[in-house]
Amino acid sequence: MIQKSSAGNWLYGLALTLLLPMLAQAAEPLESWKDGSSKASIMAFVEAVTRDGSTDFVAPAERIAVFDNDGTLWSEQPGYFQVLFAFDEVRRLAPEHPEWKEQQPFKAVLENDHQALAAAGMDGLMKIVGATHTGITTEAFSANAKAWLAKARHPKSSRPYTEMVFQPMLELLDYLRANGFKTYIVSGGEVAFMRTFAEEVYGIPPEQVIGTTFVTQFQPGDGNPSILRTPRLAHNDDGPGKPQSIDSIIGRRPVLAFGNSDGDLQMLQWTAAGKGKRFMGLVHHTDSKREWAYDRQSKIGKLDKALDEANAKGWTVVDMASEWSRIYPFDARP
């Protein structure tokens, strides 16, 4: 009897040891969010729209939450990660295109000439993206993107780009899904690129990733059909393009939207204009030590008009430096 009792106590102690961290996590769903106005507003909103009998109750089917990607779910400095991928693809493909050595903007990429790249502007960037993102099948492009993500490293942290994601936002995604929300990415990034990592990194499946798209063509092949990516842009999912794609693809107005720049303003406005309780949030990059500090004057992720509207209308503006105890998953817990 004594042996059985000791064994029972041991098993009970082991079970308690294993369960305590899980219980603590359940009690603290937004662990990396410091107690403050942003965390309080998020939790108050979720409680209000999910509690049976609440005047603000939102049916589960209508709990749509949309998130920008660059600068909202992961970092976007010193350049948009997809643009850095395109530059590396130019270097990888250069042996197949000897003419690029003398042809701009490819010459600037190969020579790491930032001044020439800047002079090439958006037209030059689109040439680079077209050369590296189109003219191949969707399968081939996805394979190229996955290969790059597996080996490429961020120039500041030396970490894989898929580790440069914001731990507090990962927690927010989990918290929302645990409360019956359906989470979407709605980003200016190209949709096929984001779909290569979104499910593994964010828990967001491909069908819930919305982004910029190219016109595609079905290729019958010889019993092996494929989808060819053409250089023609089908939809620019930035600015007003975001609510347009939400309307056409999701078919429901979101009740929660999170962004970080002026490119997200129309998505936030579209969300705010709906009936009932709504949540509009902005990630404000204020942490020059752990991440970067930038807003109104930045060439990447400019936050100017959206910040003014957020302040005027009482939207939630998350101060990264003061409200997040951790930035990245690899940061030590405080």
Structure confidence at residue 1 (pLDDT): 43
Chain mean position to CA 36: 23
List, for residues 186-204, the tens digit of each pLDDT value: 999 999 999 999 999 999 9
134 forms bridges with which residues in the sheet? none
Tell me the domain boundaries of the chain.
29-79+156-323, 81-151
Q: Where are the beta strands (DSSP E) in the chain?
A: 64-67, 182-190, 209-219, 226-235, 256-259, 279-284, 316-319
The two structure tokens encoding residue 274: 């709906």
| Cα–Cα distance for residue pair 323/326, rounded to 1 Å | 9
214 touches 229 (CB < 8 A): yes
**What average pLDDT is seen over the chain?**
94
**Phi/psi at 44 (nearest 5 deg)?**
-65, -40
Correct CATH for 29-79+156-323 of 3.40.50.150, 3.40.50.1370, 3.40.50.1000, 3.30.565.10: 3.40.50.1000
Which has the closest alpha carbon to 193: 148, 246, 259? 148
Rg (alpha carbons) of the chain, rounded to whole number: 23
Instruction: With beta carbons less than 8 A apart as the criterion, state whether 25 and 31 touch.
Output: yes
Q: Which long-range contacts (CB under 8 A, 24 or more apart) does 7-16 make?
A: none
pLDDT digits (tens, 9 = 90+) for 149-173: 999 999 999 999 999 999 999 999 9
